[in-house]
Structures are given as C-alpha cells and as structure tokens.
Structure 1
Amino acid sequence: MSKKGGGDAVKNPGAEPTLGYVGAQGIDPFQDTLRRLREAFKSGRTRSAEFRAAQLQGLGRFLQENKQLLQDALAQDLHKSAFEADVSEIITTQNEVDYALKNLQAWMKDEPGSTNLFMKLDSVFIRKEPFGLVLIIAPWNYPVNLVLVPLVGALAAGNCVVLKPSEISQGTEKVVAEVLPRYLDQSCFAVVLGGPQETGQLLEHKFDYIFFTGSPRVGKIVMTAAAKHLTPVTLELGGKNPCYVDDSCDPQTVANRVAWFRYFNAGQTCVAPDYVLCSPEMQERLLPALQSTITRFYGDDPQSSPNLGRIINQKQFQRLRALLGCGHVAIGGQSDESDRYIACTWTVQRFCMGKQRPRMEVRDRAERGPDRAQRVAVVNQMLERTSSGGFAGNDGFLYVSLLSVPLGGVGHSGMGRYHGKFTFDTFSHHRTCLLAPSGLEKLKEIRYPPYTDWNQQLLRWGMGPKSCTLL
C-alpha cells in the first residue's frame, strides 16, 4: 500500500484542514467524512488480516520516518527532551505497533468455548469482530502516545477510525493531521481538528465505540453524549496517586525515584505521584534528599536544564502558579511566565497536574502500619486496603510501558483498559457463536414440550457443571 494515498485530516476528503460547527444554515462539517467511513466499514474492507497489517505497517513507517519531526513537535509543545520524547512517546508507540503485528493472527483467531453434556456435538466459540466506526479523543500531555497507542488497537481490531488530537498541543496536532494520513488508507481513517465546540459537535454523531483520555469533568460530557446512542466507552481519566513512604525506606532512594517520576514531562502525567504520606521523622530526612536530587538531576539552575519540560500553555501555567501562594513552599517555588517555567516545587497544598509536589504527614503511627515494617508486609497491606487502576511498590509508573498488563482506571479515574492485547480486545466485540448440527433431531426432543419430570431431571443433570466429567 502506498503511503501517499492517505486519509484526510479535514471534514472533506482532499481538502485543507478546516474547522467548523453547525450554524444557522445547518452545515455539518463531519457528516460527509463519517458517512464515507461507515460505507467503507460496511463494505468489509477493514476485516481481513492483510488490510489490518498494512495499516499497522503504515503507522510504523510514520513513526520511523518522522521521528525528528515528532521530536521537534514535542519540544515545541512541552519542551520535551529527545530522551523523554523517545522513551514515553515514540518508542513506546512503536513497540505497540510491532507487538500487534507479531500477534495479530493469534488475536484474530476464534476462541473455543466449553460445552455441557447436551451440547457436546455443537461447536461454541468467541469471534472477535470490529465495532465499526470508532472515535479516539486524545489529550495534550502525551500527544503522540495517547493518540496513537489506542489507534494501534483500533486498527488491529479492524475498525474505521476518527482521530481527534488535542488542539492544545499544537505542534503535535499539526504533524498528526498533516502527515499521519499519508500513511493510512483514506477510505477508513480520518483526523478531525478543533476545540471544545467542534468536539461537542462531533460527539452528537453516533459512533460504535468512543475512547477518551482526559479529565473526569470532560469524561462525564463524553459519557453523556455516548449514552444518547448507547455507545460503549473507555474513559482514561485523571486520578490521585498517593505515595506512602515507610520509615524503613532509604530516603535518598525514595528521593531519586519520586523526583524522577514527579518531574518527568514537567509533572504533567496522570499517573505521576501526587503527594507523600510519611511520618514527621521521615519528612525531616526526605526533604534534604529531595533537594539534593533535584540539584543533581537539573543543576543549580533547573530552568536552563535541557532535561526539564515546561507547562503546556499559559492557562495551565496561571492555574499552577496560583497554587504556590496557597501554603508553605518547602522546595522551589520560582516561576517565569514568559518561559512557562515553574520550578520543581514541594508545597503543602493539594496537587493539580503540574510540577508542584505537595507533601502530607502521617502523624498517627497506626496509620502507617507497624514500626519498621518489612517492605513486603507494607506493600501487601497497601494492596489489601486500597483500590486503584494500577499499583507500584518501590517504584513509579514504569508499568505503563509493559504490553503484558493493562492500563486503566477504576471509579473516578475511569473505566476500561488498554495496552497490548487489551487494546485489541477493547476495540473488538466478543461475539458468542453456537453452531449446532442440522440433523440429530431426536437428541433435541428432550427439550421440547410437553415437559415431564423425567425430562426436567435429565436436563438438570446434563446442563450441570459436573456433567461433562461423567463421560
């Protein structure tokens, strides 16, 4: 498949990127594109393994051939270093593509189901079918990863896709809109642009699945819109990520790991540690270690460090800087509006996405478990007494890079899961299928009226969970 005959990034095939909304004359900028994609799906074009693999290969070429372009866009949007761009965005997404290509045939295979005694001659299996036309709405904080990793699963599952990158990360949005469509089939894929107004208009249309990553506030809007059409959703939302530090921990090790995960991507990570729970004694040991770590990571002048990112825009900068005056600043606190720079900061105020790092004390010894508890016991206690979408003991959110485990929230932090095969399963309808022989009608007569006690007893036995073991 040629990479030049790609999908469009606008409301009409072949046009330049255009934004719009339904006005007084009833113009719908998305209608033609959505109709075209639905027609392509109904034609069966996306269902073959060969077509799906070709789309994934095109996505892989996009990542390989435009690595520098993506790095430049991420530097423009978030001041991301090449290291952070590769580790958290480009390499991670490429791994997803490679993994899907390697396992696509196995994922697509029907899964057999077990039967009871009366269905021993029947065939029962689960077929993984594409939903149809799916919508992926991505955020700005990881604008490559969080738009393309869901896309990998959607393409692998055989869907037609509408991709909505964030308008806030403008550099990356431009690359996704103008370059990515060249690598994918134009009849089955489209990028749409715009802000909240255009997204709201887009959500008025019926989709067969919606995958949203963003805030709980907007997640409620997406779910409300989906409910009008009974559309299933995955919601990857924000959440709180407390970090408990036991007195038995080495404060320098804690400082190294907490600081790296906290200030990675300028703190704009939904699974970054939010606040620390520790005893007053550990607090006194931890703060100097953190100050030393920040200096070692980013130098005496962190603002000049090429390894420290920036806040995405002025709106977020103003919101975060306002928090600096809400309490005592223990570390950092400096800011520069012209550079969207906020220093690596520890304060006592509540966390909001950004580089500020609040801290909390656990004053009651009972709240932090047995004194000098063994680490395994502490970890087990946390697992047993808490619920969360993910958990890390003695480390941070590196589990998000693993393809063998799912990423997803619980409760206020969202619903659904993805990464690796979990993304393929998310974008696949698992259809239960039963194939019974057309003959052998005499064997079926036991289930027909008139019902007798003997029939009822025999059916109860034959349908029981232990009946299969009696053969």
Structure 2
Amino acid sequence: MGPLVYTPVEDIPKIHEDLRKGFRSGKTKSIAYRKEQLAGLAYMIKDNTERFQDALKADLGRPPIESDLLDISAALSEAKDAYDNVEKWAKPEKARWDFNWFAMKPTIRKEPKGVVMIIAPFNFPMLLMLGHLASAIAAGNAVLMKPSELCQATNQLIADLVPQYLDSDLYRVVNGDVPVTTKLLELRWDHILYTGGGRVAKIVCAAAAKHLTPVTTELGGKSPVIIDPKCDMKLAARRIFWGKIANAGQVCVAPDYVLIPRDAQDHFIQEVQDIYKTFYPTDPATSDSYSRIISEGHTARIKRYIDETKGEIIIGGEVDVGKKYIAPTVVKNVPFDDSLMDEEIFGPVLPIVPVKDLDEAIEVVNSRDHALSLYVFTQDPAFKAKVFDNTQSGSAVANEVVIHVGATGLPFGGIGPSGSGYHTGKYGFDVFTHHRGTLDNPGWVDTLILKGRYPPYTPEKIRNLRKAFNVSMPPRPGTKAGKRWGLWLVFALLGTISAVLMKRKRA
C-alpha cells in the first residue's frame, strides 16, 4: 500500500463543480438509485474487511478486534441500516390534523440539501467517514469526503475503493492537509459535517458562515465518570478501563476522568489494578491487543500531561515518543487544577479525582463545558436520576461506556462546546435532509374559511376571520382548567361534514 496521494489544490474547484453537476442531474432523487449506492458502500466495506484491518493496523497499531468492533462493523451497520430504511425515512409526511388547514393537504417533503462535505478525524476513519456517508447518500446528496491526513493507509484505501464501488459523479474523496482543507472551505457547500477538535471547528464554522452554510459538529470534550461507592466496583473498573485504553484512548467519548468519593478511591484502584493484570499479563508495549497514538506530536502532547501531573501514577506512565507508545496509565489523587484536567486527554491516561460526595461530583461536572458523554456507575435508581437530572451532556449513560454510540435508534451528538446536531441512523438522515413544507389549497376554501382576507377589509370580515382562527387559550395562571368537550364535539362534527362534502364534490 503506497503513501497517501494528496489531491492537487488546483483540482478542487473542478471536483466541486462536477459534484454540483452530478447533483443537478437528478439521479439521487430516485430511492432505487440511493439503495444501489448504499449497497455498493456496504459491499465496499464487506469485500475489503481484511484490507481495512491492515490499514488501521498500519495507521493506529490497532488490534483487528478493535477495528472490527469500533470502526468496520459499525460503519457497515450504518450502511445497512440506511439501505433497509431509506424508503421509510424519505417518504413524505402529513402534517398533524388541524381543522383550518387539513383541506390544504399540508405535507412535509424530505429533500436532499445538495452538495455536502464530510470532514472526518483520524481516530475512527471509517465510522466517522463512511457511516456519515451512508446518511448523506440515503438523504440523496452529492458528497465530498475529506479524511484526516494523519490516517494515511486507511484514507488511501478509501480513496482507491470509492470509485470502484460508488458513482464518481456524486461521491468523491479529497486527500490533503491544511492547504487542501483551506481551499475546500472557500467554496460553498449545502451542509458541512465536521468531527474533530474545537479549535478547528471554529475555523470551519467561520468559513461556513461566509456562505451561510449549516454545520453539524462533533467535538468531544472531557467526558466524566461518576462512581457510586455502592456500585459493582469490579464491573465499573473493567468497563471504564476498557473504555479508556480502547484505541489507545483516542475515542471522543472515552471516559476522560473519574469522580469518586475519597474513601472509595482505593477500592476502585484495586479493582482497576486487577483488571489491568488480566488485560495485559505481560508488558502492553509488546501486546498485540493494544493500539498506538496516531503521531509523535500527539504522543508528546499527552506525555506533557503525565510529566506535569500532581497526582500519583499507580499504573503505567511509560512513554516512547518515537514509537508513539503510551502505556495504559492510571493516576490517583488528581486535583481539580491538574494538568490532566486542563483539556480532553485523548489518550490512555485515566485521572481519578476524589470528591467529598455526589453533590461535589455534580458541582465539578457543571463547572466545566458540557461533555459529549457522561457516565455513571450505580445500581441505585435515585443516584442515577440525581446525576442525569442535574447535569447536561450530549449523552447520559449508566453502567457502560463508549458503545452507546452504536445503539440503534438513539441520537448521538453533543451540546454546546461538545458539538451541535445529531447523527447515526434516522438522525443522520435528518442532518442531510431539508424538511420542505408544502400546501395545495383548493379554491373552495376561500368561500368557507379565508374569504375575509381579501380587501376591502370590513369589521365583519375581521370578526369572521377571528372566529375561524380562534385560539383556544389555556387556563389563566391561578385558575382551574374547565372541560371543553362540547367544543371538541362541534369541531369533530364540522370536520366530518367538510370531509363528506369534499368527497361528493370529487364524485
């Protein structure tokens, strides 16, 4: 597999225009066409699973099991879900029934936004590119894909395979670094979905604002874990530690730090140490079950956090920048103002922050930016409810970490600094879809309801219009609600009579 071939900057405007022409051809309006492309995407992933495993191993040192679970199978599931449901998702919807409007057939059409751009990160180059691509295809868009230049083997493989399985008039991959991204952001897109860090997100959003282009962002952040000292501590330790070391911690929803009552910290640590020995009975540096950091620069950044911490390292701490290796690391007694608490770690380092009680844990969470995910480990429904009811985050998960991103039917997205908008499944389809409201008003409505809208305006017309569009007010604050069954029966009767008259007129 050769090195990543960058797209010439001067070719980008032509690629953009070709995608615009492809979209204007109208091919994507056909649901059959969309399903054909979604099937092609699914088979692109299925047919080349081993090649993708090898590429992800080359880029991230990632074990095949992790690649299958977190990237390959997840992307394939998104494509198949879109294939199975696109007809239902794209079907026009009738607006809710209203007496004044039902005759006008208010309907919501599901239309593609146009030519969209997906900017993907390095940590999950398949799920966060091809999974979103499935949503955009299902919605009927033309798509420009811009992967991270850091994942060279995987992104070159995607660039080679896309023309073999998908229609190049509608779906293109552009590879490159800052100059390529800068040129892309100069152009007008109909929607941008960006996954990555907050600093670059501000650049993307500022560039999009010049064209009033809508942007969906997934930005991560410091996802906290709150532990009930009465929980199943062994289960908590196993799942939290796995969530922190999977993909060497380079997961946007990885548990970033643990908040636990001070007198329960040692119990949790003992369980983590036991789990560590079962995961890595020998040195993780020689294990085939442990990934590497994406680059030396990212490794050096995480090393600074470890070097500057005021906490006590109880597991790991070893770093080899040249080999992009950071050992699974756990640090206890981490203060609130520690280097490990400055920003998202995005690496296999787990700070344990002791707190007085649950109230202080919630206070710590609320003093920081809203996280992409919040985790709580407890068997007490009241404990869980108190955490969920008194915090904000993109997702709120009990007794599990990370895997909620793939849960069928759930929206995934951040809030505030951790992102905006939702994706996966039907929510991903909606991101790339314009919900277009339509009416078709027959002439007879003027004689029944809207006659008074035309000049000359008279007091009688005003009275009639006010009656027709009378708003049923709620009870005034401080008073009790009365029953209005009689009025509802009148409206139901009028609706029935109108429907019968319409049916006779058509006959």
| TM-score, normalized by the shorter chain, greater than 0.5 | yes
Quote the residue 2:191 is aligned against: 209
Q: CA deviation at 1:249?
A: 1.6
> How many Å separate the matches in 1 of 2:157 and 2:246?
23
**Which moved further from structure 2: 223-232 or 281-290?**
281-290
For the Cα contact (< 8 Å) 2:143–2:172, is it kept in 1?
Answer: yes
Alignment deviations for residues 155-211 of structure 1 (CA, whole Å, 9 cap, x no partner): 011100100111101111111111122111011111101012210111000001101
* SS in structure 2 at match of 1:128: strand
> How many Å separate the matches in 2 of 1:163 and 1:70?
17
Structure 1 counterpart of 2:356, from 339, 349, 363: 363
Structure 1 counterpart of 2:8, from 16, 20, 39: 20
Q: Aligned partner of 1:110: which letter?
A: P
> How many Å separate the matches in 2 of 1:446 and 1:115?
23
> How many Å separate the matches in 2 of 1:141 and 1:102?
28
For the Cα contact (< 8 Å) 2:119–2:146, is it kept in 1?
Answer: yes
Q: CA deviation at 1:234?
A: 0.4
Quote the residue 2:219 is aligned against: 237
Alignment deviations for residues 79-106 of structure 1 (CA, whole Å, 9 cap, x no partner): 1111111111111111111111111111
> How many Å separate the matches in 2 of 1:176 and 1:433?
39
Quote the residue 1:445 is aligned against: 451
Quote the residue 2:483 is aligned against: none
Structure 1 counterpart of 2:313, from 321, 329, 339: 329
* SS in structure 2 at match of 1:391: strand
Quote the residue 1:7 is aligned against: none
Q: Aligned partner of 2:23: which letter?
A: F
Is it true that 1:463 corresponds to 2:491 in the alignment?
no
> How many Å separate the matches in 2 of 1:20 and 1:190?
14
Q: CA deviation at 1:18?
A: 4.4
* SS in structure 1 at match of 2:330: strand
Distance 1:335 1:17, change over 3 A: closer
> How many Å separate the matches in 1 of 2:236 and 2:391?
21
For the Cα contact (< 8 Å) 1:165–1:176, is it kept in 2?
Answer: no
Is it true that 1:408 corresponds to 2:392 in the alignment?
no
Quote the residue 1:158 is aligned against: 140
* SS in structure 1 at match of 2:276: helix
Quote the residue 2:69 is aligned against: 87
> How many Å separate the matches in 1 of 2:148 and 2:460?
65
Structure 1 counterpart of 2:178, from 171, 192, 196: 196
Distance 1:68 1:364, change over 3 A: closer
Q: Aligned partner of 1:187: which letter?
A: D
Bigger Rg over Cα? 2
Q: CA deviation at 1:232?
A: 0.6
For 1:268-347, list aligned pairs within 5 A: 268-327=250-309, 328-347=312-331
TM-score normalised over the length of structure 2: 0.85
Is it true that 1:421 corresponds to 2:426 in the alignment?
yes
> How many Å separate the matches in 2 of 1:450 and 1:45?
49
* SS in structure 2 at match of 1:75: helix
For the Cα contact (< 8 Å) 1:52–1:156, is it kept in 2?
Answer: yes
Q: CA deviation at 1:136?
A: 0.4
Distance 1:280 1:420, change over 3 A: same
Distance 1:395 1:465, change over 3 A: farther
Is it true that 1:179 corresponds to 2:141 in the alignment?
no
Q: CA deviation at 1:423?
A: 0.7
Is it true that 1:432 corresponds to 2:437 in the alignment?
yes
Aligned residues: 448
> How many Å separate the matches in 2 of 1:82 and 1:465?
61
Report the identity percentage: 38
Structure 2 counterpart of 1:34, from 1, 5, 16: 16
Distance 1:43 1:368, change over 3 A: closer
Alignment deviations for residues 104-136 of structure 1 (CA, whole Å, 9 cap, x no partner): 111111000135333332100100100110000
* SS in structure 2 at match of 1:407: coil
The root-mean-square deviation of aligned C-alpha atoms, in Å, is: 1.9
Q: CA deviation at 1:455?
A: 3.0
Structure 2: gaps (5+ residues): 335-339, 363-376, 473-487, 495-507
Q: CA deviation at 1:366?
A: 4.5
Is it true that 1:375 corresponds to 2:380 in the alignment?
yes
Structure 1 counterpart of 2:228, from 242, 246, 256: 246
Quote the residue 2:82 is aligned against: 100
> How many Å separate the matches in 2 of 1:229 and 1:365?
46
